[in-house]
A and B are shown apart, each in its own frame.
Chain A
Amino acid sequence: MSLEPQELEDLTSKIGRKPTSTELQIVAAEWSEHCSYKSSKKHLKMLPMTGPLVISEKGYDSGVLDVGGGYVVTAHIESHNHPSAVEPYGGAATGVGGVIRDILSAGTRPIAILDGLRFGDIEKDQQARWLFKNAVTGIADYGNCLGIPTVGGEVEFDKCYTNYALVDVASVGFGKKENLIKNHAKKGDLVVLLGGSTGRDGIGGSQFASDSLESEDRSAVQIPDPFIEKLIIEAVLEARNHNLINAMKDLGGGGLSCAVSETADALSIGIEMDVDKVHTREPGMHPDEIMVSESQERMLIVTDNAKLKKLQEICKKFRITCSVIGHVTSDNMMHVKKGKKTFARLPTDVVANATLLDRPSKKPAYLATIEREKKLKPISDYSKMMMKFLASPNIASKIWVYGQYDHEVGIRTVIKPGRDAAVLRLDNGKFLSVKIDGNPKHCYINPREGAIGCFEEACRNVVCTGAKPIGMLDHLQFGNPENPEIFWTFLESLKGLTDFAKYFKIPCVGGKVSLYNETPSGPIKPTPLIGVLGLAEKKHQTNTKINTDDVLIVVGNTKNEMGGSEYFEYIHKFIGGRCPVVDFAESKKNMDTVLDVIKKGILKNVHDCSKGGLAVAISEICMVEQIGCTVSLDKVPGEKLDTDRVLFSESHSRYLLVLEKTNLKKLEDILKKNKIAFGVIGKFGGEQIRFDSGSKKIMDLRVDKARKTWINSLRELVVHG
């Protein structure tokens, strides 16, 4: 809980006097990396944030997109890494709670959750297993109770997260444009704190997120209360319907300190508040504690005298406490009192705007040699290897995870988890497609190309459902930014994402930066996580039943890009090689063409090709649809490669299309016309997943056996260790 000496000097000179202890606490909370983005803010500006559909309004914690017909979609992403690493259940659960309140703040109803989970090696490490299991239960218990479907996500295991956890949660909201909170306030308006009581739990949480785990204050655990959150959602939406909310902000990292100072700064107002008016959980809390407590499930609302009574009635109906803790002033000061006595009185722009840093960066030394490949042991039996691969934690089906999440509640979920992106129906008759993707293995080898790859993969998943990407969320997770090598990887990733976003005209509608992700044995691999939202005017058939004699097409070139592949890392235990690189022009061409043919309605099934390469992607189609397929590897487009490379390369921009033979000519014509690299590589039927090269049988698996292994192995591993 303290400022750097330089920052203290800075604060003292800005306010022209020595700060009080409460002021120090408030400023320390707000100037923490987590709240102020002091290391990253200068650079984040490079991302394109505008576009024809983007609605920007001051003070929003989530991005807003106009989806037509008078409706908007909101989206946001957050992580709860440090708290989840010490208390996975509560940390993950309150992570869901936090991002939901960001969606609510804009005046929209949360309609979907996505979760990205990363842990150490669960095959060997009992601690990782414990973290994983409890984080999943935490997310399930919270989201299920709220009645917000968790419709997608991802799970990944990598040694770099040993004794640590990355828990990312994205949420999507939906509402009428006219119901968006306009965020305005005038002198004399009332400041209301609504929801759970303020306690000592979570004190110091957000500095905690900015410190590395070893030095953390282990008292910072938060107990989730999804029941209160559910009531807050209903109360706030009812208050919104009655126009009772002038401005609103959720309480997250930095508690009241951040919420009050940021609201005042964003709206160019002052706020005077009395800590005695805050409903606390325990008696005798010090003003400093009240100001920085990170108790969950609280919202800050600006209303006025005329509306207060109705707001109180609504809170009473939903049995939640609401306290008038202060009022709006015109002096741009944040004034914190206890009764008559002043504890802090600071200009809001000083509190809300930490001095931004220009951190040095330097290309990490390891990158000089990382692309060199070593000689690998040849695979003697691909079928055997593949069964092991399908059972491996990163490749295995994640049904054990999403089967615990209510993904149907809200009755919007058209495409449910287990495919590529999830698809939700909207009240304007359109369809929203969402997916999040990360890939630390690629990003470690090449932070720029890896990050671009995550972005493209998320787009690909969305495109596979027939939706056009309309917005992106980024969550940049790295180690200690004070280390120039780490900061370089951050900048490279950010630049890559920016270039891709600009080329594809996909605006960034929200994001988050999480730094200081350090485990006892060093920094995590760079882990940018990208969420993509896509919109489709109608529902497209992208997963209908596959029959015998249907054909399999691959779109896009398979390249010699094995670095960071699951095959290198899991099968050969080798980290290195060249990671996949997205060719923007090829990517765009493939994306547009696939969208176009989906719209023509001639496809039965569309699947993207990513982790585990062609071999895994094709097997996934077979296992999900429960039908065999015979594949000729010679027909796969791209340079001539060794068999294992054709099977397991993770080159981007590739799609698998399934269609009836009778539609093949039509498809080929379109693909040829658009100069798309493609190959007609397989024919469905039978009970075997079979890969041939020339007349040689390379791999041969029984679909039912493969399916059983793939579906059950993660559960087996978690439950029976």
Chain B
Amino acid sequence: MKIGVVVFPGSNCDRDMYHVLTDVFHLDTQYFWHDKGLPKNIDAVILPGGFSYGDRLRAGVIAAHSPVINDVRRLAAKGIPILGVCNGFQILVEAGLLPGVLLKNTSLNFMCEWTNLVVENNQTPFTNQFELGQKIPIPIANGEGRYYVDEATLEKLKKHNQIVFRYTDSVNGSSYNIAGVCNEDFNIVGMMPHPERAVESEINPIDNKPSSLIFKSLLHTIGVEN
């Protein structure tokens, strides 16, 4: 069982994600540099947060053209679970693997704060251990985190159950308070908040259990007893 953490120039949550996967959930995890390929026998791929290419032009757009994205696309088509967190989500969106777009927050500022999510789809590889409607206290940290889709697409997302997480409050002006979405097959999930920052009680001032379920869902999906 192997999890890949893809690292782009400017990724900065890669080490945090790696720590959580290995030290907290004891998964066999490996870094993959953006200009290399991904092995075929990988069980899940995670695109961590950060500022790939310094967020220049638009967050995620330059990284979306990396060679590794072709492999992500290929693995995704085979149904392998893919998770993009924060900048990883922005990259997946820019690569066209997830719908919508992430715009500058309405505050125009970078925002680092704790928010609350509710789970809207508990059938993805990263949410199957949740109850529907379950709350997750979790931090966000982004400047371009305002999820936007037009009305027609929003209806489509609702219809196909592609909305995975919503904020309980209007945090940054996102359409329908969307914090995370998935593709039509449910195996690609993107979310702006940072689960890797919330799974350890030492640094989570509220409750670390809900965020842990994101990783436990993955363990369940790939068949690891933990």
CB <8 Å contact, B9 and A411: no
Q: Verify if B120 is at the interface (C-beta below 8 Å from A).
A: no
Q: Verify if A412 is at the interface (C-beta below 8 Å from B).
A: yes
Q: How far is the CB of B69 from chain A (nearest CB, A)?
A: 18
- Count chain A CB atoms within 10 A of each CB in B9, B13, B205 and give the residue with the most: B9
User: Once bound together, how far apart are the Cα atoms of A140 and B109, in whole Å?
Assistant: 9
Q: Verify if B139 is at the interface (C-beta below 8 Å from A).
A: yes
Q: Which of B10, B13, B20, B113 contacts A230 (CB 8 A)?
A: B10
Q: Verify if B19 is at the interface (C-beta below 8 Å from A).
A: yes
- The residue of chain A having its C-beta at the shortest distance from the C-beta of B205 within the complex is A416
- The residue of chain B having its C-beta at the shortest distance from the C-beta of A424 within the complex is B203
Q: How far is the CB of B85 from chain A (nearest CB, A)?
A: 12
Q: Verify if B50 is at the interface (C-beta below 8 Å from A).
A: yes
Q: Which of B33, B112, B113 contacts A317 (CB 8 A)?
A: B33
Encode contact with A along B96-110: 1 for CB under 8 Å, 0 otherwise: 000000000000011
CB <8 Å contact, A409 and B141: yes
- Which residues of chain A come closer than 8 Å to B56, judged between CB atoms? 227
Among B38-46, B154-162, B175-183, B193-201, the stretch that binds chain A is: B193-201
User: Once bound together, how far apart are the Cα atoms of A293 and B56, in whole Å?
Assistant: 26
Q: Verify if B125 is at the interface (C-beta below 8 Å from A).
A: no
Q: Verify if B185 is at the interface (C-beta below 8 Å from A).
A: no
Q: Verify if A226 is at the interface (C-beta below 8 Å from B).
A: yes
Q: Verify if A597 is at the interface (C-beta below 8 Å from B).
A: no
CB <8 Å contact, A411 and B200: yes
User: Once bound together, how far apart are the Cα atoms of A411 and B54, in whole Å?
Assistant: 21
CB <8 Å contact, B51 and A145: yes
- Which residues of chain B come closer than 8 Å to A342, judged between CB atoms? none
CB <8 Å contact, A425 and B197: no
Q: How far is the CB of B51 from chain A (nearest CB, A)?
A: 4
Q: Verify if B151 is at the interface (C-beta below 8 Å from A).
A: no
CB <8 Å contact, B203 and A405: no
- The residue of chain B having its C-beta at the shortest distance from the C-beta of A226 within the complex is B54
- Which residues of chain B come closer than 8 Å to A407, judged between CB atoms? 112
- The residue of chain B having its C-beta at the shortest distance from the C-beta of A416 within the complex is B205
Q: Which of B12, B112, B203 contacts A404 (CB 8 A)?
A: B112
Q: Which of A231, A405, A412, A425 contacts B112 (CB 8 A)?
A: A405
Interface residues of A in 135-157 (CB under 8 A from B): 137, 140-141, 144-147
User: Once bound together, how far apart are the Cα atoms of A403 and B115, in whole Å?
Assistant: 13
User: Once bound together, how far apart are the Cα atoms of A320 and B113, in whole Å?
Assistant: 33
Q: Verify if B210 is at the interface (C-beta below 8 Å from A).
A: no
CB <8 Å contact, A147 and B33: no
- The residue of chain B having its C-beta at the shortest distance from the C-beta of A407 within the complex is B112
**A539 and B202 in contact, given A145-B51, A227-B51, A408-B197 (Cβ under 8 angstroms):** yes
CB <8 Å contact, B200 and A403: no
CB <8 Å contact, B202 and A408: no
Q: Verify if A319 is at the interface (C-beta below 8 Å from B).
A: yes
Q: How far is the CB of B115 from chain A (nearest CB, A)?
A: 12
CB <8 Å contact, B16 and A144: no
Q: Which of B9, B33, B109, B194 contacts A408 (CB 8 A)?
A: B194
User: Once bound together, how far apart are the Cα atoms of A319 and B53, in whole Å?
Assistant: 11
Interface residues of B in 1-30 (CB under 8 A from A): 9-10, 12-13, 15-16, 19-20
Q: Verify if B143 is at the interface (C-beta below 8 Å from A).
A: yes
- Which residues of chain A come closer than 8 Å to B76, judged between CB atoms? none
CB <8 Å contact, A425 and B50: no
User: Once bound together, how far apart are the Cα atoms of A146 and B51, in whole Å?
Assistant: 8
CB <8 Å contact, B54 and A145: yes
CB <8 Å contact, A410 and B16: yes
- Which residues of chain A come closer than 8 Å to B200, judged between CB atoms? 411
User: Once bound together, how far apart are the Cα atoms of A406 and B50, in whole Å?
Assistant: 11
Q: Which of B16, B33, B113, B194 contacts A403 (CB 8 A)?
A: B113
- Which residues of chain B come closer than 8 Å to A413, judged between CB atoms? 203
User: Number of contacting residues on B, CB 8 A?
Assistant: 31
CB <8 Å contact, B110 and A409: no
- Which residues of chain A come closer than 8 Å to B53, judged between CB atoms? 227
Q: Which of A147, A318, A404, A408 contacts B50 (CB 8 A)?
A: A147
- Which residues of chain B come closer than 8 Å to A318, judged between CB atoms? 9
- The residue of chain A having its C-beta at the shortest distance from the C-beta of B113 within the complex is A403
Q: Verify if A414 is at the interface (C-beta below 8 Å from B).
A: yes
Q: How far is the CB of B184 from chain A (nearest CB, A)?
A: 32
- Which residues of chain A come closer than 8 Å to B13, judged between CB atoms? 147, 409
User: Once bound together, how far apart are the Cα atoms of A5 and B12, in whole Å?
Assistant: 50
- Which residues of chain B come closer than 8 Å to A141, judged between CB atoms? 110
- Which residues of chain B come closer than 8 Å to A225, judged between CB atoms? 54
Q: Verify if B207 is at the interface (C-beta below 8 Å from A).
A: no
User: Once bound together, how far apart are the Cα atoms of A416 and B9, in whole Å?
Assistant: 27
- The residue of chain A having its C-beta at the shortest distance from the C-beta of B109 within the complex is A404
**A409 and B55 in contact, given A145-B10, A230-B10, A403-B113 (Cβ under 8 angstroms):** no
- The residue of chain B having its C-beta at the shortest distance from the C-beta of A719 within the complex is B107
Q: How far is the CB of B224 from chain A (nearest CB, A)?
A: 22
- Which residues of chain B come closer than 8 Å to A226, judged between CB atoms? 51, 54
User: Once bound together, how far apart are the Cα atoms of A416 and B139, in whole Å?
Assistant: 12
Q: How far is the CB of B141 from chain A (nearest CB, A)?
A: 4
Q: Which of A137, A406, A414 contacts B202 (CB 8 A)?
A: A414
Encode contact with A along B103-134: 1 for CB under 8 Å, 0 otherwise: 00000011111000000000000000000000
User: Once bound together, how far apart are the Cα atoms of A408 and B194, in whole Å?
Assistant: 10
User: Once bound together, how far apart are the Cα atoms of A141 and B10, in whole Å?
Assistant: 13
Q: How far is the CB of B20 from chain A (nearest CB, A)?
A: 8
Encode contact with A along B147-177: 1 for CB under 8 Å, 0 otherwise: 0000000000000000000000000000000
- Which residues of chain A come closer than 8 Å to B113, judged between CB atoms? 403
Interface residues of B in 47-81 (CB under 8 A from A): 49-51, 53-56
Q: How far is the CB of A176 from chain B (nearest CB, A)?
A: 15
CB <8 Å contact, B55 and A145: yes
- Which residues of chain A come closer than 8 Å to B12, judged between CB atoms? 145-147, 230, 409
User: Once bound together, how far apart are the Cα atoms of A146 and B9, in whole Å?
Assistant: 11
Identify the B interface with A (CB < 8 A). 9-10, 12-13, 15-16, 19-20, 33, 49-51, 53-56, 109-113, 139, 141, 143, 194, 196-197, 200, 202-203, 205
Q: A227-B10, A230-B54, A405-B112 are in contact. List 14 more A-B contacts (CB 8 A).
A: A140-B109, A144-B51, A144-B143, A226-B54, A227-B53, A231-B9, A231-B10, A318-B9, A408-B139, A409-B13, A409-B141, A411-B197, A411-B200, A425-B202
- A-B complex: 6 closest residue pairs judged by Cβ atoms: A147-B12, A227-B54, A145-B51, A406-B141, A411-B16, A404-B110
A-B contact pairs, 27 of them (CB 8 A): A144-B141, A145-B10, A145-B51, A147-B13, A147-B51, A225-B54, A227-B9, A227-B51, A227-B56, A230-B51, A231-B9, A231-B10, A317-B33, A318-B9, A319-B9, A403-B109, A404-B111, A404-B112, A405-B110, A405-B112, A406-B110, A407-B112, A408-B112, A408-B203, A410-B16, A411-B203, A416-B205
Identify the A interface with B (CB < 8 A). 137, 140-141, 144-147, 225-227, 230-231, 317-319, 402-414, 416, 425, 539
